[in-house]
Structure 1
Amino acid sequence: MPLPATPPRRATIRDVALEAGVSRGTVSRVLNGEPYVSAEARTAIERAVAKVGYVPNAAARNLARRRSQAVGVVVHEPHSLFLEDPNIGSILLGANAALSAADHQMVSLVIDSERDSRRVVRYLGGGFVDGVVIVSARRDDPLLAAVARLGIPAAVVGRPPGMPPVPFVGIDNRAAAQAITERLLATGRSRVGMVAAALDRDSGADRLAGFRAALGDRFDPRLVVERPLYAYGAGRDAMRELLEREPTLDGVFAASDVVAAGALDAIRDAGRRVPDDVGIVGFDDSVWALRCQPALSTVHQPAMDLGRKAAESVLAQMHGGAPQLEGVMLDTHVVWRASA
């Protein structure tokens, strides 16, 4: 049985100094960009670095500076939803783009349980990252309280109720939901319901509030079915329940595109046509909206920009900038397609 391969020895400053014929202190000054080194010594050291293959030990350097050059992005969602919801991926890509441009590493942390939450809090408190972006925080989320207590640079995507004073980046979910519901009503629909989801988050609660505002006196609480997550299965099952409650339903607002995709399949399974019998609209303008047949009318939210702005906020705080506690709000708009 072959023995495990021994990792190649890493070249050190001592190797560079021996090759260049100078002291380790002189090598250190050159590597740190310090003056007072002769041109001849600098040239010899640069040649020695190339010859011995020396690579600076970033971990040791960051330890000395008490910096990790890394920022955590915490996604508070079940593992299944992490893979199913394309908005999460877009937020992560936006955050990574901003961090990469600043020569920082993104560390993804997923919270799927209370145990995960405790583990992540310990990790953040251990100095492994210099700041944190939090996605999908809940109402009175203990993670937010822990981050505020730790005092590390942070930004939240969204603005959940009960949030401590932490910078945030978000959209006006209430106004956007009201706008698309009003557009749906303008097509002549008279019995309009909603598949509401994630009401423990600002996005879910505000979208329901916007739907209710659009309907005004016509709002019927029986025509709202709630589910805990933005998930395809949630939309499918909730839509079946909604059609059982109100067989004459002719319009529905689903709280997200992935929820709308599940709802649309349930409508078809019930023998109803979209948009002839039931018009349906979603929220996000994600890839799910174009996968649907017919294509889904929805609200476009700039998911990548949300991640990028949140990461930029954390980076600014890390470099001494004052936290923007008033938050940053990004624009949305209705995208009208064939589903309604």
Structure 2
Amino acid sequence: MEPSPRRMPTLDEVAQRAGVSRTAASRAINNVPHVSRAKREAVERAVRELGYVPNPTARALATRKVGAVVLAASSDEAGLFADPFFAEVVVGVSTALEQTDLELILVLANTPRGRDRLQRMVRSRRTDGIMLMALRGDDPLGRLGEESGIPVVFGGLPLTGEPRWYVDADNKGGARLAAEHVVRTGRTRPVMITGQVDTRASVAREQGFSEGLTLAGIPLLDVVSGDFLEERGAEAMEQLLDAHPQLDAVFTASDGMAIGALQTLSRRGRRVPEDVAVIGFNDLAGARFTNPPLTTVHQPVRALGHEMARMLVSAIDGQDPSPLILPTRLTVRQSAPAASPAPH
């Protein structure tokens, strides 16, 4: 599109000539950080060719950046960021942001007060972008990006809808690996302790485990929720043992719940793995130090945080990064060894 000789060229024309988005063109013109050299040079060339003169008011608005991003979790757990999973996510996010001038703000946003605080930050433009974790059900926080125009990256898909930008692990595929391992080791009476039933990760892990067993002709005896909490995992294991005394394998949707299940099995006199095989999900550092060491589905938790931050920085720069699904794999240890020990 060539500008009319009767008027000044517009920012849209500059963006089209440079082959970049309008946002990227604005950031390059206003010398905002996190714009690639190639895009900056293309925009500068388009500005010269078209004779574009920035609007002073628009320039002031475009350069009003605070140099901070938010990692927000919609969780009612006060100690959430002390949880090993989220601690690893924070480490991953921080390492990615080390390459930028952006500061990281952590926000617990499940209480009305926390939710209001985050929404005030968005309305007053005190953040350049948001990373959202632990969304449950149809959480209104999931619509922050649509309402504010600020880039939002999801850590894990929400239960409903598919956002523009997200990083997730292959939850369903990882759970199927757990089911296949249960079948290979000769177990025929498996149960599952799932997480919070209104989260996408929990639903996907239950589906993957159930489908893997179905393909092998093995029925899943029962599923009980443990809410991703160690103490609830212990309670769920009690419930399953009472209902199915002959169960011989349990897959839990998190390592924390697996630790709770191991405690219950020990208290009830069930040997692991001789009587019951136990498989978790996450493969955090503590999985190596359970008694016995935990067989678990490994997901790259630190990489999840790192890729979320990289994706957000890219979106802030005016780019349109593609969603990312990270691979999972099974880490076999003594709680469910490859060769199933014979009961004695």
- TM-score in same-fold range (> 0.5): yes
Which whole-Å deviations, capped at 9, do the CAs of 1:87-117 have from their partners, x for residues lacking one?
Answer: 1111111111111211210000112424422
Q: What is aligned with 1:195?
A: 193
Alpha-carbon distance in 2 for matches of 1:250, 1:84: 33
**8 Å contact kept, 2:173–2:328:** no
Structure 2 unpaired stretches of 5+: 1-30, 32-59, 337-344
Change beyond 3 A, Cα 1:63–1:89: farther
Paired residue type of 2:240: L
**8 Å contact kept, 2:195–2:253:** yes
Q: What is aligned with 1:256?
A: 254
Alpha-carbon distance in 2 for matches of 1:73, 1:193: 35
Which whole-Å deviations, capped at 9, do the CAs of 1:275-304 have from their partners, x for residues lacking one?
Answer: 111100000000231221110001111111
Paired residue type of 1:240: E
Q: What is aligned with 1:225?
A: 224
Shift of 1:84: 5.4
- Where 1:283 maps in the other structure, the secondary structure is strand
- Where 2:281 maps in the other structure, the secondary structure is coil
Alpha-carbon distance in 1 for matches of 2:204, 2:83: 19
Shift of 1:154: 1.4
Q: What is aligned with 1:330?
A: 326
**8 Å contact kept, 2:202–2:253:** yes
Shift of 1:81: 5.0
Superposed, 1:24-63 pairs within 5 Å as none
Q: What is aligned with 1:90?
A: 88
Q: What is aligned with 1:156?
A: 154
- Where 1:293 maps in the other structure, the secondary structure is coil
**8 Å contact kept, 2:154–2:163:** no
> Of the two, which has the highest radius of gyration?
1
Alpha-carbon distance in 1 for matches of 2:173, 2:112: 33
Shift >6 Å, 4+ stretches = none
Change beyond 3 A, Cα 1:81–1:257: farther
For residue 78 of structure 1, the aligned residue among 64, 67, 76 is 76
Shift of 1:119: 2.6
Paired residue type of 2:66: S
Paired residue type of 1:333: R
Q: What is aligned with 2:171?
A: 173
Change beyond 3 A, Cα 1:231–1:83: farther
Alpha-carbon distance in 1 for matches of 2:83, 2:263: 17
Change beyond 3 A, Cα 1:265–1:337: same
Shift of 1:149: 1.1
Q: What is aligned with 1:210?
A: 208
Q: What is aligned with 1:24?
A: none
Bigger mean CA deviation after superposition, 138-147 or 113-122 = 113-122
- Where 2:278 maps in the other structure, the secondary structure is strand
Change beyond 3 A, Cα 1:75–1:100: same
Paired residue type of 2:333: R
- Where 1:322 maps in the other structure, the secondary structure is coil
Alpha-carbon distance in 1 for matches of 2:184, 2:86: 31
Which whole-Å deviations, capped at 9, do the CAs of 1:156-215 have from their partners, x for residues lacking one?
Answer: 011112235330001110111011121022111111000011221111000000111012
Change beyond 3 A, Cα 1:234–1:83: farther
Give the superposed CA RMSD: 1.9
Alpha-carbon distance in 2 for matches of 1:152, 1:171: 24
Alpha-carbon distance in 2 for matches of 1:91, 1:124: 22
Shift of 1:83: 4.7
Superposed, 1:298-337 pairs within 5 Å as 298-324=296-322, 327-337=323-333
- Where 2:265 maps in the other structure, the secondary structure is helix
- Where 2:130 maps in the other structure, the secondary structure is strand
- Where 1:282 maps in the other structure, the secondary structure is strand
**8 Å contact kept, 1:153–1:318:** yes
Q: What is aligned with 2:11?
A: none
Q: Percent identity?
A: 33
Matched positions, count: 276
Superposed, 1:57-136 pairs within 5 Å as 65-83=63-81, 85-136=83-134
Alpha-carbon distance in 2 for matches of 1:219, 1:139: 28
- Where 2:311 maps in the other structure, the secondary structure is helix
Shift of 1:63: 9.3
Alpha-carbon distance in 2 for matches of 1:300, 1:193: 20
